[in-house]
Structure 1
């Protein structure tokens, strides 16, 4: 699950990002409406979590411009307001769901997964590298017909690498996007988890999906 969180409250944004990464998500953050609009327009996400009250551009305006540009990524809007008028505005502009602060993180995750299931028919659901298949809707991985069980962190790491297939991804980028924006531990944790992944997705099948790019990081390779 690749998500964009557009939220100006730094603590809430960091908390949501950490929680969604722990659920296996790949998270990109934006602190204002201008940055959020740019990222949502230039990159492909499975779901966008969009606050209404934002500096630069409001969430309403970001959503309006996205739909005008025919960006149909599902959007879940967050707001401290709770009036019916606000919800009506959001839905009329093209929002797919709406949560009022404060909210339960468990409910947020359930809503996001529901949005992904509903939108599965609108975009390719599977990510592949050779016969390795990752399904972001069901958060499952398989090699051919063989299912592979991964932990949330392993899944998040593999999803990020597969979404950047054939591109060398730096360790710092993996730490920032798969672990946490503010992670300050040793970067060899990436090597450890790449090792875990290789033992599950490559070693039993005699394949070499994750390559080490010396001096840079790692790259997933595989035919379309």
Structure 2
């Protein structure tokens, strides 16, 4: 029987951490707990453990969850990260996504929903794990190609000219899929917040603009003069697979 993945819980609220550890172990997962952000980051930057996913609180002593996920991505460490945020602070959600988190869950959360999100991350995390080549590798079955670029939604990768491959977070892939599904249409910023990121509260839409800047670095020949992901002033954005003259 295959060993269940190792889940790292970074949470300083003792009662919440112990509840998570108990329920994760009851589901058969291996667990490791850190209550201090700086200590957790030191471990994550140096460990050789085969980590399945990280449950990461935002407010931590030592270093915040935002700082941790940002430094992990800066070091090209792509452990799947599920951020635990205060539901009353939707700005936390957007800052976490901008930092490179894969998903988020607002506190207080339903335990069943946490396991649904966790299992989704684990299913889609194989792209960052080294593995032996298969004798007959299967091609990506969920992809979209435009202007020499291919988004592989099932493996969370984006191929670009020059054999460049960019690893996508789950939220980046979800937003790109939303644009692909609405190609040519105007997508308002509020739709991105509510339909893609599930943020239903009154949130500063400038956070969306900051996120778009990163996506343009992935898909544009010249991010400063976008041809595919164009701004519709005062409303939102439009994705154009084939740029207009």
TM tier relative to shorter chain: 0.5 to 0.7
Q: Do the aligned residues in 2 keep the contact of 1:6 with 1:49 (CA within 8 Å)?
A: yes
1:85 shift after superposition: 2.1
Structure 2: how far apart are the matches of 1:100 and 1:125?
33
Between the two structures, name the one with larger relative contact order (CA 8 Å, sep ≥ 6).
1
Tell me, in whole angstroms, the C-alpha distance in 1 between the residues paired with 2:131 and 2:84: 25
Supply the distance in 2 between the matched residues of 1:36 and 1:66 (Cα, whole angstroms).
11
**Number of aligned residues:** 126
Alpha-carbon distance between aligned partners in 2 of 1:122 and 1:75, rounded to the nearest angstrom: 12
Correspondent of 2:75 among 66, 69, 75? 69
Structure 2 partner of 1:29: 33
**Separation in 1, partners of 2:130, 2:6:** 13
SS of residue in 2 equivalent to 1:41: helix
Cα deviation 1:13-60 (Å, max 9, x = unaligned): 011001000101000000010111122222231100000000010111
Once residues 33 and 111 of structure 1 are traced to their aligned partners in structure 2, the CA distance between those partners, rounded to angstroms, is 22
Match runs of 1:22-101 below 5 Å: 22-43=26-47, 44-101=50-107
Q: Report the TM-score, using the length of structure 2 for normalisation.
A: 0.49
Structure 1 residue 125, shift from structure 2 partner: 7.0
- Structure 1 stretches of 4+ with a deviation exceeding 3 A read 81-84
1:17 paired residue number: 21
| Higher helix proportion | 1
Superposed CA RMSD = 1.6
Tell whether the 8 Å contact from 2:9 to 2:34 is kept in structure 1 after alignment: yes
SS in 2 for 1:46: strand
Match of 1:111 in 2: 117
Find the aligned partners of 1:118 and 1:125 in 2 and give their Cα distance: 15
